[in-house]
Amino acid sequence: MVQSGAVPLFLQLLHSEHENVCEQAVWALGNIIGDGPQLRDMVITMGLIPPLLQFIKPELSISFLRNVTWVIVNLCRSKEPPPSLSTVEQLIPALQHLIRHEDVNVLVDTVWAISYLTDGGNDLIQLVVDHGFVHDLVPMLNHKEVKIQTSSLRAIGNIVTGTDEQTQAVLNEHALDYFPDLLTHQKDKICKVSGTHHTDSLTHQKDNSLMSRKEEAVWFLSNITAGNKHQVQQVIDADLLKYVIHHLAQGEFQTQKEAAWAVSNLTISGTPEQVRKLIELDVIPPFCDLLTCKEPMTEAGFPQRSSSNRKTLQVIQVVLDGINNILKHAGDVSEHVCLQIEECGGLDKIEALQNHTNDEIYKVAYDIIERYFPDMGEDVTSSGDVMQQESFNFAPPAAGAQGGANGQPGGFSF
């Protein structure tokens, strides 16, 4: 259809005096744009946006307006590459108008459009922040419509994958006040989401997946605990760590994974006093339990492969690094932490991980035993279970050394 020259004809039909003809042309162009970024950019270059936005007016039928909003979603959707800044700047006034619309379908699509934009990098996030969308998005976290809750949670979640200043814009709107409900909601619907974990060493982005609100909420907090010490303290002051640790202990595997990131990020970004708050909340036993996490099973009862196995290895490495950092910051309660690790079975698990085939996991496990449980290390070496130290390079791994977007050294990079 595109190769046969249909796009210019559809664009001409946008100027028809018959509304139903215009609506059908909008629908056709939306389908073409939705096929991918190349066709999207081609149709934009041919002049789609000005006539499209002219349809947004009070007298337009609701079905037509929903169609127009859906096309705007498709214009914002792809992030490989995302739409250009000039394109987004043309769409901003329409989004500012539509985000206050009373129709649920229009509102849901508008918020998803903003969510896709915030998945396109810090420059697009800044446009969203600068035009005041955070003020509209945050109150939607307790909207009666689950679809709106989900899309707004993803949008602000993407914003906090940005800079410290962009993250603070969300916190300044008191977003954390909504999280006790999000983290404890009994009817935790599974929703299709799109978007990003910070791409740097601390924060992390989401792939397109089926996500529960609890998982999404813990993911959001994991990116806050990857921020600066002031932002970490805001999470502590909001009394949200207890919910993170609860999901670490009892959540579904995907939620446990996000909780592990939240805890480990705090051990990197936080002060020793903030890290010791985790110890006070008894984080050690559920944290250590994840050292033997198994990859999720399929409905047929078989282990999931490839990406799921990789995620399991990520969790183990994130937890090991977190335990290592907790021990570094434990100070005068270090003996208590070591005893907790031993009593909950964590020491046996760390010892076993010295034989793991993944070099990074092996190195951290060995380092923990060598530094904090030297007697155990001597026993293991003398029994011949581990090769001599000179056979390995125990220097800290280079991954993540470049630091995160928040300026934090070290961290996780997969």
- Residue 99 maps to which CATH number? 1.25.10.10
Structural domain contains residue 46:
yes
Taking the C-alpha atoms of residue 192 and residue 200, their distance in angstroms, rounded to an integer, is: 25
Structural domain contains residue 85:
yes
pLDDT in tens, 322-376: 999 999 999 999 999 999 999 999 999 999 999 999 999 999 999 999 999 988 6
Structural domain contains residue 53:
yes
- Cβ contact 320:365 at 8 Å: yes
Taking the C-alpha atoms of residue 408 and residue 226, their distance in angstroms, rounded to an integer, is: 8
pLDDT > 70: percent of the chain: 81
Structural domain contains residue 308:
no
Measuring CA to CA, how many Å separate 50 from each of 11, 27, 148, 300? 11, 16, 27, 51
Instruction: Report the mean per-residue pLDDT for the chain.
Output: 86
Instruction: Return the closest-CA partner of residue 197 out of 362, 363, 315.
Output: 315
Taking the C-alpha atoms of residue 192 and residue 195, their distance in angstroms, rounded to an integer, is: 10
49: confidence class by pLDDT, cuts 50, 70, 90: very high
The structural domain count of the chain equals: 1
Instruction: Return the closest-CA partner of residue 108 out of 70, 156, 61, 142.
Output: 70
Structural domain contains residue 55:
yes
pLDDT in tens, 110-168: 999 999 999 999 999 999 999 999 999 999 999 999 999 999 999 999 999 999 999 99
Structural domain contains residue 347:
no
1: confidence class by pLDDT, cuts 50, 70, 90: confident
Structural domain contains residue 119:
yes
State the Cα angle at 194 between 191 and 200, rounded to 5°.
125
Taking the C-alpha atoms of residue 152 and residue 75, their distance in angstroms, rounded to an integer, is: 18
Q: Which token pair is 79?
A: 């992030």
Phi-psi region of 395 (alpha: psi -120 to 50; beta: other; left: phi over 0): beta
Taking the C-alpha atoms of residue 352 and residue 142, their distance in angstroms, rounded to an integer, is: 45
Q: Residue 285 contacts by C-beta under 8 Å, 6 or more apart in sequence?
A: 249, 340, 344, 346
- Cβ contact 87:75 at 8 Å: yes
Structural domain contains residue 320:
no
By residue range, what is the domain housing residue 84? Answer: 1-171
